[in-house]
Amino acid sequence: MNLVDSSGWLEYFADGPNADKFVKPLGNIETVIVPTICLYEVFKVVLRETGEDQALQAIALMKQGQIIDLTSEIAIRAAKISHDKKLPMADSIILATAEHYQAVIWTQDADFRNEKSVKYFEKVK
């Protein structure tokens, strides 16, 4: 399984310099899990930057993956991760979800760069 975090989705949608790094997992969308926190983050950014129509189109593509709701088990694990690693809430939820589903995280978020099972790509400006 693969989990493309919000930074990866946003890079892909914007056709940014690292967009090609996310083609491999997104080209096999049936193996991608999508935590609901990623839907929130991506919708919010795309809404702000390009408008509601584009935000809805982005979410429609994301929903082709397997949507993962925040369960009590994942929430509790995320809180422990946040406490132990001093990670923000969203990052902790993403990491706990990936651990629960044994998924590889694909990201540009530097908070994940030293985690196991992560494909980290430094953000190009």
Q: Which CATH superfamily is domain 2-120 in?
A: 5'-nuclease (3.40.50.1010)
Give the Cα separation of 108 and 9 in Å (integer).
10
Closest to 33 in 3D by CA, of 84, 79, 74: 74
Q: Supply the DSSP symbol for 121.
A: -
Handedness of CA 66, 70, 72, 75 (dihedral sign): positive
Closest to 3 in 3D by CA, of 125, 115, 81: 115
pLDDT along the chain (125 residues), means of 10: 98 97 96 98 98 98 98 98 97 98 97 94 90
DSSP sequence for 95-108: HHHHHHHT-EEEE-
Instruction: Give the residue extent of every domain in the chain.
Output: 2-120
* pTM exceeds cut of 0.85: yes
